[in-house]
Amino acid sequence: MALRASTWKLQKSLSALLASSRLHTHATSFGFKEVHEEEKSKMVGNVFSSVASSYDLMNDFMSAGLHRLWKDRLVAKLHPFPGMKHLDVAGGTGDIAFRVLESINSVSHSALRCGVTDEVEGGSRIYVCDINPKMLSVGKKRAAERGIDGSPVLQWVEGDAEALSFPKGSMDGYTIAFGIRNVTHIEKALSEAYRVLKKGGRFLCLELSHVELPIFKELYDYYSFSIIPAMGEVVAGDRDSYQYLVESIRRFPKQEVFAKMIADAGFQKVEYENLVGGVVAIHSGLKI
C-alpha cells in the first residue's frame, strides 16, 4: 500500500510537470528542468563526460545485463552485410559498432567457406559518431582491448547528431541506441538520419521508453526514481546524472508519437517493437 501511495504521488507530480510544460517534446528540457536550447547540449555533455568511464558498467547494473540482449536484437534487425557503410550515432563506447562488425565478419566468413568470394569484396565501413570525446575515448580503448583498434573498418568521428558531416545518401544503415532522447531537437536528428541514408537504407533506434501495464509501471517508476539514482551514486559516484537519465526517459515521446515523428521525417514502413513491456522499444524505418 505504501508503494502504491508513493507511486500515485509520483505519477501525480509527473503529470503536473508535463502538463505545465510548454515545450515541443523535450526540445528545451533537461530532465524535468526547463533550460535554454544552447544550455542543453552543454549540460548533456557534462553528464556523459562524468559517466563515460562507468557507462557500460552502469548499463549492466541498471538492466541486469539485459541491455546486451536489446543491442543484439537491434543489430539483428539491421541485417549487416559485407561492404556496407554503416553509421552508429551516439555510439561512443562502441557497443553497437562492435556487434555490427562481428555480424559482418560472420557473414564474410560464411561466404568464404562456401567459396562465394564476390560477397566479401568491397570495403565495409562502420562510423562511430559521438558528440562527446570522452565517450569516443572509451570506445577506442575498448577496441584496443579487443585487438581491433587498427581495423580500417572502424572509424571514430566526433560529431553532432543534428548536423552530421557525412554526405547525402552515403550510408546503408543508421543506428542510435539510448541517444536520441538526449539531443536538443529530435526532429533535426531524424532529418539528418534520413539525409545520410541511401535509398533502401534502414533506420533503427533503441531507446528507453514507456511502460503502460499499471502494476508493472508502478514497480518500474519506483525502481527508476528510487533505485537508479542511488545506484549511480554508489557505482559511478554521480547521482545527479542518473536522476537526469530517469527524468529524460519520462520526457521522451511515447512509442506511437515517436513513430509518427520518424514517418514525418520521410521514413516509410515505420514500426516499433516493445521489449520488457515497453521499458525499451526498437523503432525502425526505411528510406524508399
Tens of pLDDT, residues 26-48: 445 777 777 788 778 888 888 88
For residues 81-95, average pLDDT: 96
d(CA 189, CA 161): 5
Asked if 221 and 15 touch (Cβ cutoff 8 Å), the reply is no
Specify the pTM.
0.84
Residue numbering of the annotated binding site for S-adenosyl-L-methionine? 93, 130, 160-161
Confidence (pLDDT) at 9: 45
- 28 contact partners, CB below 8 Å, separation of at least 6: 34, 35, 36, 37, 40, 184
d(CA 166, CA 230): 39
Length of the chain: 288
Residue numbering of the annotated binding site? 93, 130, 160-161
Confidence (pLDDT) at 46: 86
Residue 175 above 80 pLDDT?
Answer: yes
d(CA 284, CA 77): 9
